[in-house]
Chain A
Amino acid sequence: MSANPDAVDAAFFDELRMHYNESEIVELGVFIAVNLGFHTFFGSLKFYPLFSPDGRLLTQAESEALYGSAPGALKAEAVT
């Protein structure tokens, strides 16, 4: 949906239906759509997780150094 929306076609939905019912597909679609939108916006705001993977409270500078300066889930090119 994010990197190659044209690939999400009728055949793709047919494949999805082999594993999920229509309610679950809508649930997944909404969840993905919201996250697709939010991660780009949040990435531009430059804020990072408050805690390290082992539970330590981090400053934003420490967190940026630990987690990186770009959201990992949306490194693909924007849709054109």
Chain B
Amino acid sequence: MTHIAPLPHDAITDPEMRDLIAQGEALGVPDDLFPRILARAPAQAKPMMRALLMSHVRGNVDHKLKEIVRILLARFADDKYFASLRSRKALAAGLTEKRIDEGCFEYEDAAKDFTEAEKIALRFADLMYLDAGQIDKAFYDEMKKHWSEAQIMELGSFMVCHYGMAMFMRSLGAKASR
């Protein structure tokens, strides 16, 4: 049981919130546990769910790469809940558990065949909450060789939302969903 209990389904009557929960369940991230806790603060719940879903699914960065980034950050945050979830869209596009693990732990290994663009995006995620001091002008200059400024902001904002919520769910004592 989480430290803050999720609301029962029938206690959530706002149509938009119910739709956002359904969107999360269809994607697989988040499942209904997180938004039913979030729904205790309705003014925060809807914008947060919109931000999580939009930053994950929409944009111009490959969804499979963002899914690896999300899991890397959830594992780094030691959040069993978000780390256990998987995007059905990413899995349908061919993402595998083996590739997720390679992306989290072995992306610098040339034998794993990550592109230079993918490597620096994963390094971006790896360093952001481990040693942000290394994400300096030289790092961004290198990133700009592979990603547009819009894509860098897309990745950064995505990481911010998902890492923050992973830390929150860890604090709530949420367990793995599977």
State whether the Cβ of B21 lies closer than 8 Å to any Cβ in chain A: no
Q: Which residues of B contact A38 (CB under 8 A)?
A: 160, 164
User: What CA separation (Å) do A30 and B172 show in the bound complex?
Assistant: 11
Q: Would you give 29 A-B contacts (Cβ < 8 Å), ordered by A?
A: A1-B171, A5-B170, A8-B171, A9-B3, A10-B3, A10-B173, A13-B4, A22-B4, A23-B41, A25-B4, A26-B4, A27-B43, A27-B44, A29-B4, A30-B38, A31-B44, A33-B165, A34-B160, A37-B160, A37-B161, A41-B159, A41-B160, A44-B140, A78-B130, A78-B132, A79-B77, A79-B129, A79-B167, A80-B130
* A interface residues with partner B (beta carbon < 8 Å): 1-2, 5, 8-10, 13, 22-27, 29-38, 40-41, 43-46, 78-80
User: What CA separation (Å) do A40 and B135 show in the bound complex?
Assistant: 10
Q: Which residues of B contact A31 (CB under 8 A)?
A: 44
* B interface residues with partner A (beta carbon < 8 Å): 3-5, 37-38, 40-41, 43-44, 48, 76-78, 128-132, 135-137, 139-140, 156-157, 159-161, 163-165, 167-168, 170-173
User: What CA separation (Å) do A13 and B4 show in the bound complex?
Assistant: 8
Main secondary structure of the interface of B (DSSP, over half): helix
Q: Which residues of B contact A27 (CB under 8 A)?
A: 41, 43-44
A-B contact count (CB 8 A): 93
User: What CA separation (Å) do A9 and B3 show in the bound complex?
Assistant: 8
Is there an interface contact between A26 and B164, defined as CB atoms closer than 8 Å? no
User: Given known contacts A40-B129, A78-B129, A79-B77, what 5 new A-B pairs fall within 8 Å (CB)?
Assistant: A22-B40, A29-B171, A30-B44, A30-B168, A44-B139
